[in-house]
Structure 1
Amino acid sequence: MLKATVPAAMITAPGSGQGKSMVTAALARLHRNAGRKVRVFKHGPDYLDPMVLEVASGQPVYQLHPWMTGEDECRWRLAEAACDADLILVEGAMGLFDGDPSSGDLAKLAGIPALPVINASGMAQTFGAVALGLASFDPDLPVCQVIANQIGSPYHGELLRQSLPDGIRLLGAIPRNEAMSIPDRHLGLVQAGELADLEQRLDDAARVLAEAGLDGLPDAVTLEAPAPQPPPRLLAGVRIAIARDAAFSFIYRANLDLLAAMGAELAYFSPLADSEVPAADALWLPGGYPELHAATLAANGPMLDAIRGHHRAGKPILAECGGLMACADELADKAGQVHRMIGLLPGRAAMASRLQALGLQSLRTRQGELRGHTYHHSSLDTPWQPLARARKQAGTEGEAVYCRQGLVASYFHGYFPSAPELVAAIFRGEPLHLLNDKEPADA
């Protein structure tokens, strides 16, 4: 049994756009710069925020989500981190009570207090009403402190403090400052590796928080959970080549950990810069931004030929979202320019003017239920019929899953630890044994 007591907080907000991502990153950097070991987690599916949070904290960042990763894994990861961390921060998703399960649900499950960040720009005494609403909405979730963001002056911050009801105090009031922002694009924040000055940005943001009085530690909580059993070594002797560069970067650390724990040897390569795929038994093309690098990818003929050769040899390929786009015959970028792609999946992937799909989904098979999510701004026009469709969390039809000649391609992003046997089957090139809608997942 793992058990430890450590200061911890769920950094949340009334809704998206309040600034909680940058506040979480700045808090992590502030306490790291003070000599503390800070472990940060992200509630729910997200690839981009964790990239920044890893740079901020200097430690690996994992996802926590009671439905996608499972309640037991949430408790275990937090308890494991508590054993050697000086501070644990969990960045919430959307608003405190948004989604099912919400950030509030995760906070209650873990026994971590919620610490809302409220954008107070254009707000005075109403700040207290918002804080009171968050604190009283769920009596089982204590909200004892709040952070004001985007204040205009010290007087503004004092008005906010005075507006708070008994039992809620202002932990700090953050002034408007360019240091508290990071560029974004259609899928969220710009990738951490694309920001040459990210370290300086984070140090500047940490100083802003210190000046706002946010250098204190949150209350300590006790976190405990049993350690999980190691997964079966179903991939012993299997070498998996994984695309990893600016175009293919949406990879959960937990997915890599699972593949290694099941015995796989992992070899990384860049479809943008390299000319060949490492010698491997299987290939993983994860999601990312192939649409931003389509011209470079299309011009790398040797690499495209190498991936085609891997496929012709009958070796398995998993292509997720951006990987699916790259496997199509063509990719039309946001400007409408069409680029030749790998050509394993007939048809064209094209960027759309608005979001095409978003939400939690799962793929149900006799080898396990692979849980995950979808989030994309492109669509695929193909003559192929899907072998299966993922199911939305609500039970309705989700993303198409194309399976042919060793290729498994979908806009669906899987969280591998939710279904180790299925993941191993995909990378061994074994068929998926699907369940119908009426069969239980443990059939």
Structure 2
Amino acid sequence: MRLKGLLLIFIWGAFSAYYIYTPVPEDIEERWKLMLTDCFFRTLSHLADFSELLGLRDYMGVMMFITVAEAVVPVSDQQVRVTEEHFDGVEVVVYQPALQGGDSADADADADADADAELRRGLVYFHGGGWCLGSSRMSPYDLLARQMVTELNAVVVSVEYRLAPAHHFPVQFEDVYHVVKHFLQEEVLAQYRVDPGRIAVSGDSAGGNLAAAVAQQWQQDPEQKIDLKAQVLLYPAVQALDLNTPSYLQNQHMPILPRTLMVRFWSEYFTSDKSFFQAMLANKHNGPESASLLKFVDWGAFLPEHFRGGYNYTAPPVVSATPPSTQGDSPLRNMGDPRASPLLVPDTALRNLPRAYILTCEYDVLRDDGVMYAMRLKRAGVDVTHEHYPGGFHGALMFTTWPAEFEIAHRMTDNLIGWLKHNL
């Protein structure tokens, strides 16, 4: 028994050393806590790979454990009233200030009691998770929504859009767009006491992608009568054409979102065809459909020198043939759609966009996506606040709850809410 115990200790020690060791830069914030946290993510990723290999469950099905583990039941408290509703058939969680002196289950009674109150800000929030994972009901999103309600006197609509691989693009975009279109009706805004002139779309990672795409499509929608005032894009993914930007190469093995996982997210967003995933991994997934759009992701032109890290720009190759199983609803065509890759539009489509808050992190494969989008928006004359965190990593803003609570997450939240107080 003693020998077995020693053997188990040795195996566990070797296992822990393997998973804890990773080439994490010394200047990344709370380095050892991040390395320990990443052990969980990498272990789950390997289990997901193994499960898919054995045909037990697909990769994303196993990775959904992250969503389940962080899930909470959104409930009202003394400061925030929470309701689960459907906007145009899409599930949403609505957070709004609670009534003074008690909560009420009657929306009309709420409106009457609030009739003389100041009109509120409105935010529609899209969660991250690579279009495949995540939920508005995860504890970090629940906490963020409550902070926005109490500190901004805001109504926050957190969207539970459908996920890949069960649903591919453009389902996710259509879900969030339908929610925005429903919310920005005069009678709906009046119901929630929201000021029509103080509404923003916001999201992190894949949610930042959706927020940027919604902002673009909204200004082109002939049916819209109310303008968005702001777009909040937190380490957004905004292009799928070049997956070898300096940040993809520099941070390909970084914690939380290594390059392989981000490529898998992009691939699953468009198709379940594994051959397309392999093509994207090799950065050889551009065909004639996207060739003319590569100029919009030329990081040699749109990325400031200090972000290039000594890398020299080389345009991704354009392949002439596509995998046979992708010929129908071609992911090559879809990834060039601005609703999927909002960076791929001319300056004329950017000029009238609402003011933007863009957050990027140095140690994030998506860093250059956010930097390039901020640069292009500025050149088009859009009011942009670009906040870059030199010691930050992907997903940092969501690490606000035990046992993975990081100081940088609270700092990011405070800075974001501070910006919204002055700009929304």
Q: Decide which structure has greater strand share.
A: 1
Q: Decide which structure has greater helix share.
A: 2
Tell me if TM exceeds 0.5. no
**Which structure has the higher relative contact order (CA within 8 Å, separation 6+)?**
2
Report the TM range for the smaller structure's normalisation.
under 0.3
